[in-house]
Amino acid sequence: MPMALVADNVELFYSDHGQGPPVLMLHGWTCDGADWSWLAGDLTVDHRVVVVDFRGHGRSTRTVDLYGAQVLANDMVRVLQHLSIDRVVVVGHSMGTTVASALAVEYPDTVSALVLIDP
């Protein structure tokens, strides 16, 4: 099971499929990366698609606190570093749009575009 260590005792589950320009897909609150299965499969035809379960969601480590947008954006940067991805299109849904926006503001050289669904 692919996991990225993003902080002390915090591992995030992710999937990484396809080749081409990278796309990072961020799910909503109380969901997990499986929510993107309907779209991720189609995108892998010509994109590298990374889908992450946020901390406390899906198969990732649960923590007592630290679920704010900035913390989760920092986690995403660490996942991208783990995968040697320098620049990415970020697709977010619901809470994922907040994390995507924080990621774009704090790490503008990392985010090439945002797709925000149902913010």
In CATH, what number is assigned to the domain containing residue 73? 3.40.50.1820
Q: 93: which strand partners?
A: 117
C-beta neighbour count of 64 within 10 angstroms? 6
| Residue-range definition of the domain harbouring residue 59 | 3-113
Residues of the chain with pLDDT under 70: none
- Helix 95-106 to helix 69-82 angle (10° resolution) is 70
Q: Tell whether 67 is covered by a domain.
A: yes
Beta strands (DSSP E) in 30-82 are 48-52
Answer whether residue 119 is part of any domain.
Answer: no
Which of 81, 75, 17 lies closest to 51 in space, CA to CA? 17
Please report the pLDDT score of residue 1 as a whole number. Answer: 83
Residues in contact with 29: Cβ distance below 8 Å, sequence separation at least 6, in sequence order: 94, 95
Q: Is 118 a member of any domain?
A: no
- Tell me if 56 is assigned to some domain: yes
Let me know if residue 96 belongs to a domain: yes
- State the total domains in the chain: 1
- Residue 38 belongs to some domain of the structure: yes
What is residue 64's predicted lDDT score, i.e. its pLDDT?
85
Question: Can you give the pLDDT at residue 66?
Answer: 83
Asked whether residue 43 is assigned to any structural domain, the reply reads: yes
Helices (H) and strands (E) in the chain, counts: 3, 6
In the DSSP assignment, the letter for residue 11 is E
